[in-house]
Amino acid sequence: MRLAEEFYKGNIEKNTRKSKILSSKVEVIGWSRLIVFAICVLIDYFLYKQNKISLAIVVTIVLLGLFLFLIFYHNNIFELKKRIDLLVYINQNGLKRINNEFTSFEDNGSEYLDDEHPFINDLDVFGENSIFQYINTTVTKGGREELVSLLKNEKKLNKNEIVKRQQAIKELGEKAEWRQNLIVEGSVKKSKDIDLGSLLKWSKDNESSSPLRVAIACTFILATICSILAAVNGIIPQSFLLLDFSVNFIVIKILSKGMRRELELFESIKHSVYAYSKILWLIENENFNSEYLIKISSKLRNDSVSCKEEIKKFSNILDWAGNSKYNAYYLILNILVFSDVFLMRSLEKWREKNGKKLEEWLEVMHEIDALCSISNLSFENDNWAYPIILDKNEIEGINIGHPLLGKKAVRNTFSLKGEHKVSLITGSNMSGKSTFLRTLGVNLILSYIGAPVCADEFSCGIMNTYTCMRTKDNLEESISSFYAEILRIKMLIEACKNGEKIFFLLDEIFKGTNSKDRHVGAIVLIKQLIKYGGVGLVSTHDLELCDLEKENNSIINYNFREFYKDGKIKFDYILRKGKSETQNAIHLMKLAGIDF
């Protein structure tokens, strides 16, 4: 049993047991509250009948205190149970990843699928049964976006950065319990969505009208105090207070008119900010060893300001903002002491001190959130290897498997280095050509985000990946699958001509045209790709293309084969050097019932 599997199963068993105990406590406390309330009513009724009003008041106060304590205790137990149940869920998902059952995860990032992107659709980066669906455990909106950005290779790749990120991911992989605490804190009270753009825009805004609002508010508060004192002493009629409160209500509406949008923003984000305060607390308090994590986390603290303390203050202020819309008591408080005005003043004072740092703090949280997701690969696959990043355009691996196939993955050894620039992959239908191309592509993506890869050993240069594998018709734009393929090839050639370091994966190119055009077109394309420095693989059924190996030292042949057993076709999915010597199309048609 893997260490990760043992860890997850142990946590599920332990926390399931705790959850059952807490469920019993919740039920007992719930009944206890009802019993205390019933006893209070009965005793009060009995004492009232005996005209012992004073004693009834004392008993009511005592039992009410006990009732409130039970409510507080019940809420704490319920909150703890919620966290324990989250831990069970987190560990169950960990087991699902290990057992290759991650396709049941709801978030697959399908909104990021893009036919125009150089590789994401062909390599199953997003969507059903994708890399994103497999590894994503982010709990912040920005962390999710950071993970998406990394998987799309949107950031400029740098060897030193990749190596440092590898060390960070390896360290986070070993902090499984800490990572699970981060997920719990980020999930237990988080809002479904958060308007990060509006929050950051507010944090950078220097405008403030609070001092004027505070002065006006103080004037009306003083007037209200004077009115209450005058009414109590009989100087003015008590009905005058209603007029005073009505005036206050109107003034509050006028003063808060310009604040309403901001107050609505704060109401919508308060739960997320609470979760963020807990996450940032965990990050700032953790001792990291890797250079990358030390550098990131150091941004959360300096000599004068502690991020965890300031974000906690921000969260506490926002708790009041959450009351402004739904709490009747807050409405009364607002009319009496203009709490909306002072709430905004507190927020603006916080912004004056921390507004310029907020974006940097959130970026730290988002990056570590994304790295924690990637580190699942490190923790759950201790037989995977961290790739060696090369300074040259080469790729080589020993026992490379497809990361999304789990135990079903057949591992192969492959090398494309030195004088070899293009590998032609031949083989019969269903023999494994396309899967192998994706195997290399997916492992290359994982290499560039700093993750371990599904291989015993793996090394690669930093190259931009381009694929042409799943071209399809686009009826809305009147584009045939063949023309769609041409457009992708054009994008690849232009990238090569622009001097990009290219790694390409082309699956049965030009399959939409006749055999002669396909053969000639493939030869021209391969020679151009070599001319402009491209490196990559081309799978093909055109066995004549394999003769290029004899003409050009830059080309090397590999193949997959099939065999027959008991009249049935079988595949071993083993990659071999040289060109394919077998074909199976006619046999497959016979198996399908087509007679010859």
DSSP string, 9-24: HHHHHHHHHHHHHHHH
pTM: 0.85
Task: Give the span between the Cα atoms of 395 and 454, in whole angstroms.
Answer: 14
Task: Give the span between the Cα atoms of 296 and 530, in whole angstroms.
Answer: 41
Q: How many CA atoms lie within 13 A of 20 on its CB side?
A: 5
Percent of the chain with pLDDT over 70: 89
Q: Which residue has the tokens 């205790």?
A: 73
- Taking residues 162-167, report their average pLDDT: 95
Q: Smallest Cα–Cα separation from 166: which of 157, 393, 486, 102?
A: 157
What pLDDT is attached to residue 506?
Answer: 93
Burial 132-160 (b: 16+ CB within 10 A, else e): bbbbbbbbbbbbbbbbbebbbbeeeeeee
Model confidence band, residue 477 (pLDDT cutoffs 50, 70, 90): very low
Model confidence band, residue 584 (pLDDT cutoffs 50, 70, 90): low
Bridge partner list, 453 = 385
DSSP H or E segment with residue 348: helix 339-380
Which one is predicted more confidently, 579 or 441? 441
Q: Is the pLDDT of residue 306 over 90?
A: no
- Region of poorest pLDDT, from 44-48, 53-57, 282-286, 334-338: 334-338
Q: Which of 51-65, 425-439, 449-463, 556-570 has the highest mean pLDDT?
A: 449-463
- CA dihedral for 27, 33, 36, 41, sign (positive or negative): negative
Phi, psi for residue 479 in degrees, rounded to 5 = -115, 125
468, 489 in Cβ contact below 8 A? yes
Whole-angstrom CA distances from 185 to 271, 281, 313 are: 11, 10, 17
Sheet holding 422-426, edge to edge: 464-468, 502-507, 535-540, 422-426, 555-559, 576-577
What pLDDT is attached to residue 89?
Answer: 94
Burial 304-338 (b: 16+ CB within 10 A, else e): eeebbebbbebbebbebbbbbeeeeebbebbbbbb
Tell me which DSSP letter residue 406 carries.
G
What pLDDT is attached to residue 322?
Answer: 55
278, 185 in Cβ contact below 8 A? yes
Angle at the Cα of 174 from the Cα atoms of 169 and 177, rounded to 5 degrees: 115
Q: Smallest Cα–Cα separation from 429: which of 270, 205, 586?
A: 586
What pLDDT is attached to residue 588?
Answer: 56
Amino acid letter, 341 = V
Q: Smallest Cα–Cα separation from 263: which of 203, 314, 323, 220?
A: 323
Q: Smallest Cα–Cα separation from 434: which of 507, 526, 509?
A: 507
Q: Which two tokens stand for residue 582?
A: 């077998």
Whole-angstrom CA distances from 308 to 189, 312, 494 are: 17, 6, 48
Amino acid letter, 543 = L
Q: Is the pLDDT of residue 473 over 50?
A: no
37-84 residue pLDDT tens: 888 888 877 877 777 777 777 777 888 888 788 888 888 888 889 999
Is residue 10 classed exposed, middle or buried when 0-12, 13-18 and 19+ CB atoms within 10 A define those classes? exposed
User: What is the average pLDDT score of the chain?
Assistant: 84
- Region of poorest pLDDT, from 372-376, 462-466, 510-514: 510-514
Show Cβ contacts of residue 589 under 8 Å, excluding neighbours closer than 6 positions. 596
What pLDDT is attached to residue 377?
Answer: 95
What pLDDT is attached to residue 252?
Answer: 73
Strand bridging mode 555-559 / 576-577: antiparallel
Q: Smallest Cα–Cα separation from 442: which of 468, 404, 411?
A: 404
Q: Is the pLDDT of residue 592 over 60?
A: no
Q: Which residue has the tokens 């290399």?
A: 440
379, 4 in Cβ contact below 8 A? yes
Percent of the chain with pLDDT over 90: 40
Q: Which of 49-63, 93-107, 237-251 has the highest mean pLDDT?
A: 93-107
- Taking residues 155-169, report their average pLDDT: 92
Show Cβ contacts of residue 550 under 8 Å, excluding neighbours closer than 6 positions. none
Q: Is the pLDDT of residue 30 over 80?
A: yes
Task: Give the span between the Cα atoms of 563 and 547, in whole angstroms.
Answer: 24
Is residue 182 classed exposed, middle or buried when 0-12, 13-18 and 19+ CB atoms within 10 A define those classes? buried
Model confidence band, residue 538 (pLDDT cutoffs 50, 70, 90): very high
Model confidence band, residue 11 (pLDDT cutoffs 50, 70, 90): very high
Model confidence band, residue 321 (pLDDT cutoffs 50, 70, 90): low
Strand bridging mode 555-559 / 535-540: unpaired
Tell me which DSSP letter residue 238 carries.
T
Phi, psi for residue 538 in degrees, rounded to 5 = -130, 120
- Region of poorest pLDDT, from 111-115, 358-362, 473-477, 554-558: 473-477
What pLDDT is attached to residue 36?
Answer: 83
Q: Smallest Cα–Cα separation from 176: which of 106, 107, 109, 98?
A: 98
Q: Which residue has the tokens 């825009």?
A: 201
Is residue 437 classed exposed, middle or buried when 0-12, 13-18 and 19+ CB atoms within 10 A define those classes? buried
- Region of poorest pLDDT, from 129-133, 329-333, 555-559: 329-333
Give the end-to-end CA distance of the chain in Å, rounded to a whole number: 51
Task: Give the span between the Cα atoms of 357 and 349, in whole angstroms.
Answer: 14
Model confidence band, residue 476 (pLDDT cutoffs 50, 70, 90): very low
386-427 residue pLDDT tens: 999 999 999 999 999 999 998 889 999 999 999 999 999 998
Q: Which residue has the tokens 């493939």?
A: 522
385, 458 in Cβ contact below 8 A? yes
Q: Which two tokens stand for residue 39?
A: 């006893």
Tell me which DSSP letter residue 303 carries.
S
